[in-house]
Structure 1
Amino acid sequence: MSFDLGVWFEPARITGDAATEKYVRLCEGDATGLVEPPAVGAFHAELTAEFPDLDELDDAAGSPWSAALTVSESHVLMSMIWSRADEMAARVVELAHRHGLVCFDPQSATLHLPPALRLPAALRLERCVGQPVTDPSPDVLERAVRRLSGSNWFLILEAGEQRYVQIGLGPSAGVEAGWFALEHRDGSPDRHVRALVRDRGPLVTALLGFAAGDRGWADGFSWTKLDLS
């Protein structure tokens, strides 16, 4: 099993759904409409200087790649061995952002936007499984909730260190199996509250409302103040 990523240039923000469609076309060999900036070549050169392509190696032992890279003037597609996915994905995202390129993760349909395409005061999504996402789109947030499971049991959406929403599932989050712990901190520790939620739908609504700055997102929950002392 391999872990795949795609990197290319976007002149403006796109949604995760649009990136999914574009990635599928790239995998089919269709790069129609993509810009061909020098940044793609610079990204590829820096990436392969650190992790040579399989075509450049006499012995592939120790290489993180599971197949040769697919490279054009406009994009780079890569497959890496699963055991090194976390390490390599973090590095690829870092390099892509350094060169002003987007990085798309088809495993979770997650789009990583470079700094130039992010909104001011962008939020940050931390997940139990997967790379952090700065300025996540609504579709990424919804999928993050839908993908919560026993082995992927929490997510945190941060608007700064002291203001965030987090969701935990089941005993790992200190609640009964099948239930979710929805927590919200809005400043100091004495403003940290929790609500127990049975269904995912209200959690999606809460996360999207918090991300959109809707002050009424929390009104539909029964909150209990947490004592973290």
Structure 2
Amino acid sequence: MVWDEPVPISRDQARATYLAVKRTGPVNGDEPDIAKELPGEVTIYPGHVLITMDLDTMDELSAQVFTIARAHGLVCYDPQRDLVHNVAPLGVYEGMQLHTGDGMIVHDPDLGLVHDVLATLSPQNPFVALVNFGHHFLQVSPGHELEYKEGTLVRAMVPELEEVRRAFNEYATGERAFLTRHEWSPA
């Protein structure tokens, strides 16, 4: 579901909005301009657009929806993954990509999304990576093993999720304190 929000919202706020809007029922009438651009089956609710897609094409279509929503300055909530995509704040690397082991790819992810995605590590989602193609990447797998590559691939074990989140935030914002805070070994 996509809609306008004046400031970034949390995953809990997005979920609550989604559930409240779904209880109101769809409306008939003029489609907003964005509805014509969105892939999948579109249903209009007051101030909101719901995009329905099948599981086979969900990853591909979701990436398109996220891109279109961002271009229009809209929040996008993914109820299947329980994740919210805000317009900002973004990392410092234009074109940075967020990849997950369960198939999600997001171009220029907002920092809140990166934070929330890291909590989804599981056997069904065996890695999360921030990638700046041709330059460097930071990746984590369940058990909190970080891998960083900028020339040479190195690994470090991190004791808890909050430290993983801190490292990913530093990486996305161009800071490199995570490199000195952890003990790295060649991969």
Normalised TM-score (structure 1): 0.63
Aligned to 2:121: 148
Aligned to 2:10: 16
Structure 2 vs 1, CA of residues 110 and 166 (structure 1 numbering), >3 Å: closer, same or farther?
same
- In 2, Cα distance between the equivalents of 1:149 and 1:72? 34
Q: Deviations over 1:69-121 (max 9, x none)?
A: 5314521113333233223323333443444433221233323345xx56454
**Equivalent AA in structure 2 for residue 155 of structure 1:** V
Aligned to 2:63: 90
Of 197, 202, 206, which residue of structure 1 is paired with 2:167? 206
Q: Deviations over 1:195-225 (max 9, x none)?
A: 1345434322322332344432233321013
Of 113, 126, 130, which residue of structure 1 is paired with 2:99? 126
Q: How many percent of aligned residue pairs carry the same amino acid?
A: 26
SS in structure 2 opposite 1:152?
coil
> How many residues get paired?
179
Q: Which runs of 5+ in 1 are unaligned?
A: 1-5, 31-37, 54-68, 170-178
Structure 2 vs 1, CA of residues 22 and 168 (structure 1 numbering), >3 Å: closer, same or farther?
same
Of 143, 146, 150, which residue of structure 2 is paired with 1:182? 146
Q: Deviations over 1:4-30 (max 9, x none)?
A: xx01223x4413334333323322329
Structure 2 vs 1, CA of residues 102 and 182 (structure 1 numbering), >3 Å: closer, same or farther?
same
Structure 2 vs 1, CA of residues 136 and 100 (structure 1 numbering), >3 Å: closer, same or farther?
closer
Q: Is the 8 A contact 1:126 1:156 kept in 2?
A: yes
